[in-house]
Amino acid sequence: MAETPHTADRLRHDIDEGEAGDKKGYPDAAASPLGTDDEASGFPNTEAQVERAQAAETANPARKDAPKGAEATRPDSMSASHTSREASNRTILIAVTVGTAVVLTVIALLV
């Protein structure tokens, strides 16, 4: 079976599948999917242009042998590393911010 030609749609699909190695394999919710602007202007990308873009997206020398797509591990969430003191400080900050907003709203209504 012959390889499918290089198109912007194929490139977007490969990136969404995690072939670029910089994200998990999941589709991006794009308002204007890759290649749409060029097609709308009447000058869609040539196969050679998309092939160069494909090579640039999937060949990242800085990654070396890092796993791609679903094989890659996600970084730990920052919220998991917060101490109880940081959580307490965050609660105080939220309370002060909400209190300030309430006071300013009351002042604005009285003026």
- Per-residue pLDDT of 67-77, as tens digits, reads 555 555 555 55
Domain that holds residue 24: 1-68
Q: Is residue 104 part of a domain?
A: yes
Q: Which of 2-6, 17-21, 43-47, 88-92 has the lowest mean pLDDT?
A: 2-6
In the chain, the number of structural domains is 2
Same domain, 10 and 60: yes
Residues 19 and 46 in one domain: yes
Rg of the Cα trace of the chain? 24
More confident residue, 107 or 1: 107
Long-range contacts of 44-48 (CB under 8 A, 24+ apart): 44/8, 45/7, 45/8, 47/5, 47/6, 47/7, 48/6
Assess whether 41 and 91 both reside in one domain.
no
Does the predicted TM-score (pTM) go above 0.75? no
pLDDT at 98 over 80: yes
Closest CA to 11 of 52, 62, 63: 52
pLDDT tens digits, one per residue of 18-44: 777 666 667 777 766 777 778 788 888
**Are 53 and 90 members of one domain?**
no
Residue 111 lies in a domain: yes
